[in-house]
Each structure stands twice: as structure tokens, then as C-alpha cells.
Structure 1
Amino acid sequence: MIEFRFVVGDLARTSFAYSPLQEAVYSLRCWRDPARYPHQRPWLRRLAPAFRRQDTEVLTALIAPSLWIPDFLTPRPDRPRPVFAQQLKALGATPPHTLAADFTAAYAGEPLPPVVRAGLADPAALLDRIVRALTAYWEDCLAPDWWPRVHTVLESDLAYRGKVLAEEGAGGLFASLDPRLTWNGEVLTLVKKLDRHPWSEADIEIGGRGLVLVPTLFAVGAHTNIDPVLPPLLCYPARGRATISETPPPATDEALTRLLGASRARILHLLRDPASTTELAHRLAVTPGAVSQHLAILYDAGLLTRARSGRSVRYARSELGERLCGAR
């Protein structure tokens, strides 16, 4: 059981963020145990040739047999929407002496792989190799197509959680993240069912540091850092993560298609969750310019709403758009 203890002001400092670095590192779990992530299998098949060209010796060593990961590889995001390159630069500044303890904790009694055992003789060199391997993996495998789709899911999750918080308060929000979370107004408790990799009990004082809630596509349930002394963080399964491998949906409603045209009907269908022009373009495999034209027409017709989110504008169905789509 893990307890996060809040005092006055801590709830107000609770925030959301996602982490491109964390998702990149967590995606390595798929290569070790693909059966655990069925929604990623189409991507694994597509990315396998590029992955085989990577430094797989070190990349696979970052994931313990239990699928635990050394804490230094998944630092708490310092902003809601960090940039991968900036996160990787910060990772490269990790004090090398922390690597041995973090790998040992992640492997939890299992023998360290040879590349890690040998590398810890010169942890600075090992850290440099890890950073270079993650850079190449991101650029060759993830950034071109995989990350834009993941980014869409994470942005949609943040929009949904904000709505839950506004409508149901903190209790409803925490309950929506994982049914194993309970909130009594002062303590957020996470209980893990017994398995062969039990957590240690932890009593974490938020203490003005703020709790950051981080959605991920690679979690079955909520979890936190291995080391409870680190700044408070709670990862949870992103809503809609199973859509990562979906193909563009057909516009199946004949009347809606006749009214709007196939492309606009498809976009309206996709906007059951908010998305940006770029995200929709990736999902539909068309240019952002083409999507932008359709969005402008749908917005002018009163079928969409829009709101700025960081550097992008996110679109969602309006009440009229929802009624037009019915329950679809």
C-alpha cells in the first residue's frame, strides 16, 4: 500500500503532465513482453526492422524482467508538455553515481545484464551510451509516426481528466485514474493486488512539492517511482490507449456522409475526443492543410468548438455536432 499525504494547498498544486521520454522508455517494455501490450502489436511489426538496427543490447537492458525501469530514466516532467530533446538533455546530466542504485532497485534481486554490469565500472560512459541509444531509437523508430499517434491519445486524456475534475472534483478524478485509488480528502491511497512483484509500503508526504499525474500507454494500473523519496509522481493508464493502432474509421452513417461528405463525416467521428489539426492529419494519413480546410467548414457550421492548448488549437464536437453524430 502506498499513501500520498496531502496538507493544505497540496491539492491545488496537483497537476497533469505527459512525458515523451517516459513513453519512449516504457515502449521498450513491448519488445521484452509484446503479449502484454496487444494494442501495440501492429506498431511492433512495422517498427521491427528499424528496431533491429538500434543498440538493442543496451535498450533491452533498461527493462528488468519484472518490467520495472530504473527511476533515473523516467524523471518527473518539469512542465505539462515537455519536449523530448530537452528531457534527453536533462537525462544526460544525471549524476552517474545514481545509476548503480537505480538499476539494482529495478532488477530487485535479479542479476543485472552483462552490458549493465560492465558499464557500471564507468557509469558516465554507460549513461552516455544510454542517451545515444535512446536518441537513435526516438529518431528512427518513434518520432516519425508512432509519437504523433501517442501524442493524440495523451492530449485527449488530459482534456478528459480536466473535464472530470471540473464536474466531479478531486474524488471523481482520482477514482477515474484507477479503481485501486481511494481518496478521503487528505490521503490518496493506492493498493496493489498481490503478485510476484509486490511493492514496498510507502508513506509519501506531498509537503508542498506538488503531485504530478502522468498518463501513459504502458501501464495496467497506477504506479509511482520505485524510490518514494523522489518528487511525488503518479502514473496511470491513459484513456483510449487501445486506439493507438486503429485505422481511420469509415464514415458509416450514409445520411451524415451525404450531408457533410466522407472526409468531414470521418473527422467529426474522430472528434469524439478533442484533437489538433496535426493529430487528425496523422490519424487520417492526409496533410494538415487538407484537415484544416475541413475543420474550418465544420467550425463555421457550428459543429465544432475550439480552444488553444499550448501552441496548438484543439477541436471538439459542439453540442450540435454531438447530436448530429448521435451515440456514435
Structure 2
Amino acid sequence: MHGHTALHLGTLDDLRVSVADHQGATVLSLVADVFGGRGHGVPSQWRRMVLDAAPSTAATVLRPLFDPGYSVIPDCVTPTASMPRGDVLTQCEQLRDLSADVLLAELETEFAGEVPTQWRPVIDRPTQWIRAYAQVVQAVWQAFVPVWERARPLLERETERVGSAVVRGCADTVLSGLSSRCRMTDDRLLLPDPQNDTYALDGRRIVLVPVVSGPSTCVFALDRTDLVWIGYPLPGLGRLWHADAGPRPAPDGDALALVVGDVRARVLRAVAAPAAMGDVAARVGCSPANLTHHCVRLEQSGLIARYREGQYVRLWRTVRGDSLVELLT
């Protein structure tokens, strides 16, 4: 991780965590990847969908928001302004009613009067830019609605997964496994960010936002007074990349699989005693490469450990992993 922002969580037992299936976070990730060069890993077919749907001026309209020199999205126009509630089409209506004076005042405050070059066209014609920006956001969203509808079962499952973990006192397990780009260190959640900032949760609520975009998605806002929100890849996202690949239902009655996922639950159960990765792969029923992916995430969550013994890599459950399996079995 080349840079990160740290969120100090405080006492883990006191965490307040909820889920929001917020459409705006998905749109933000899509346009950041396709037009802003942010590398969220949006698959090629979705990139083509966004490019075909967006107006020809989209790249120019969005350039100020994702400029590599100074990237900032004013609160009054961000697709996530209504977090944790709201939908994209309602926000587009609100954008069209947005006063140019509100946008200009926010830019003045953000840049302390020294507005960067890329924002000059917005300053010169704010009303026209607002309308063009709303048109881009609406066009991208309307093209993506069929994908969002296919994602509903996965979004519902994710809400159930997080809720189950919170009720069982395992919210930290969910946070530590949000994505390969995030990790937990003691009471700190580290999020990829070249700004290298530090924030304290200070009792605020954490809103987790599963994003239907790419596997490298990580978008967040930690500076609100009432809550922090963190957007991360929707688990099972790859099943949506092909129209005929429907989401699989959660294992019936398996609380451990609901919280950590089916494959990772099987891995945890398979390594109650130290075992070679090859043997675990056979027991779990997945390829060595797929097993390695899941083991990295389980290790980042502090649930398993790995060590090399000669030509073999062995896995075993940590004390934390034992406690989780016992709690959810």
C-alpha cells in the first residue's frame, strides 16, 4: 500500500455499523475509473457501457473532479452527498436546481481563493457546467440500472451479512475484510489514499457502502460530523460481469459463511489443525490460486496464519479464528 489514511476506531465493542446500498457511490466509482483514471478495476464491458452512454463531452466535464494535481469533488455536487439515503435520479434533479452561487462559494472555500487552472471553466460558466455534469451522471446511471437490478440479491445478502456480524459482535471482522486494499492494524482501519491523513471515529456511525463497480474500488468520506462512510467492492461482484451469471444464495443456516463467505468459512473449518495448502485446497474444492486469494484476506483479518515448512506452506487458525468459528457455529 503506497499511501493510506488511518481511521482510529476506538473501542471495537462500541462500533456502530450499518449498510447503505447507495447508488451514487457506484456512479462515483464508475466515472472515477472510466473518466478519471482512478483504476477501480471496472470490467471492460461495463467501461464500454459507460462510454457509450455518456455524452461526448463527459471527459471534459469531469476533468476538474479527477485532476491528478488536485482532485476534489465539492460536497454540493458529489454523487454521494445524500449518504446514507437517496437515489441518483433525485440527486440529478437537485443538481439542476443548484444555485451557481452555492458551487462558487464552496470552491472559494475549498481553494482559499486560489482556484486551480482545471476549475477555471467551471468558475467562468458555473450554471452550464452544473447542467452538463447532471447530464453525465444521469446518462451513466440510466445505462447502468440493469446491472444494479441484477445486483439486488447480492446487495441484500451483503446487508444480511453485515447485520449478522454486528449482532454477533464481529463488526471488526467485516471491516478488516472489506477489500484487499484495506487492512486493520490494532484499532486502526487503513484505507488506500496518497494523502496519508489521520482521522478518529470519535463515536460516529460507520456506514458501509457495497459498490457495484470494480474489485479495486475504495471510496470514502471520513470528515463528516455525524458519520463516516466507506465504499468497497460488493462481495460476489464477479458473478455480475456476465449476464447469465446469477448470484448464489447464502448457505442456509450457516452463520460463519454468512459473515466471512462460503469459501472462507470452509477454509477456517479445514484448518482447525495445521494443514498444507494443497490439502486444504482439495478439502475446500478450489484451485490453489483461488485458495491463496482467500487465505491472504483471512490472514489480513487475523483469522489464520501461514508458514513455510520445507516445500510446503501450512495454514492454521489463530486464536481469533478459533473464537470466530466457535461463536458462529
Which category of TM-score, normalised to the shorter sequence, fits these structures?
Answer: 0.5 to 0.7
CA-to-partner distance for each residue in 1:182-212, whole Å, 9 max, x for gaps? 275xx443254xxxx62232223444x4221
Summarize the Cα distance change of 1:212–1:146 in structure 2 as closer, same or farther, 3 Å threshold. same
3-state secondary structure, aligned to 2:156: helix
2:176, 2:184 within 8 Å by CA — same for their partners in 1?
yes
- Tell me how far apart the structure 1 counterparts of residues 131 and 177 of structure 2 sit (CA, whole Å): 39
Mapping for residues 1-328 of structure 1, pairs under 5 Å? 1-6=5-10, 11-12=15-16, 14-32=17-35, 36=39, 38-53=41-56, 55-65=58-68, 70=73, 72=75, 73-75=78-80, 77-79=82-84, 82-91=86-95, 93=98, 95-97=102-104, 99-100=106-107, 112-113=117-118, 116-139=119-142, 141-143=143-145, 145-167=146-168, 169-178=170-179, 180-182=182-184, 184=186, 187-190=187-190, 192=192, 198-207=194-203, 209-216=204-211, 217-218=213-214, 220=216, 222-225=218-221, 227=223, 231-249=227-245, 270=246, 272-273=248-249
- CA displacement 1:147-182 (0-9 Å, x = unmatched): 323445433433333344445612212122146432
Structure 1 spans left out of the alignment, 5+ residues: 250-269, 275-302, 306-325
Count of residues in Structure 1 that have an aligned counterpart in Structure 2: 244
Query: Is the contact made by 1:39 and 1:243 (CA closer than 8 Å) also made in structure 2?
Result: no
Secondary structure of 1:62's aligned partner = helix
SS at structure 1 position matched to 2:80:
coil
Gaps of 5+ in 2: 254-283, 287-329
CA distance in 1, matches of 2:14, 2:155: 24
Deviation digits for residues 238-272 of structure 1, max 9, x if unmatched? 212223312415xxxxxxxxxxxxxxxxxxxx452
Q: Distance in 1 between matches of 2:94 and 2:49?
A: 30
Distance change >3 Å, CA 64–CA 102, structure 1 → 2: farther
Amino acid at match of 1:129: A
The letter of the residue matching 2:159 is: L
**Structure 1-normalised TM-score?**
0.57
Rounded Cα–Cα distance in structure 2 between residues aligned with 1:28 and 1:165: 32
The change in CA–CA distance for 1:214 and 1:77 in structure 2 (over 3 A counts) is farther
In 1, the alpha carbon distance for the partners of 2:227 and 2:74 equals 11
SS at match of 2:200: strand
The answer to which of 52-61 and 19-28 deviates more is 52-61
Q: Is the Cα contact below 8 Å between 2:13 and 2:169 reproduced in 1?
A: no
CA distance in 2, matches of 1:29, 1:234: 16
User: Given residue 147 of structure 1, which amino acid in structure 2 is its aligned partner?
Assistant: W
TM-score where L is the length of structure 2: 0.57
Shift in CA distance, 273/110, structure 1 to aligned 2, threshold 3 Å = farther
Once the two structures are TM-superposed, the CA of residue 41 in structure 1 deviates from its matched residue by 0.5
Partner of 1:287: none
Change (3 A) 1:36 1:125: closer
Change (3 A) 1:231 1:64: farther
Shift of 1:232: 1.9
Structure 2 match to 1:296: none
Q: Pick closer, same or farther for the CA change 1:59–1:39 going to 2, 3 Å.
A: closer
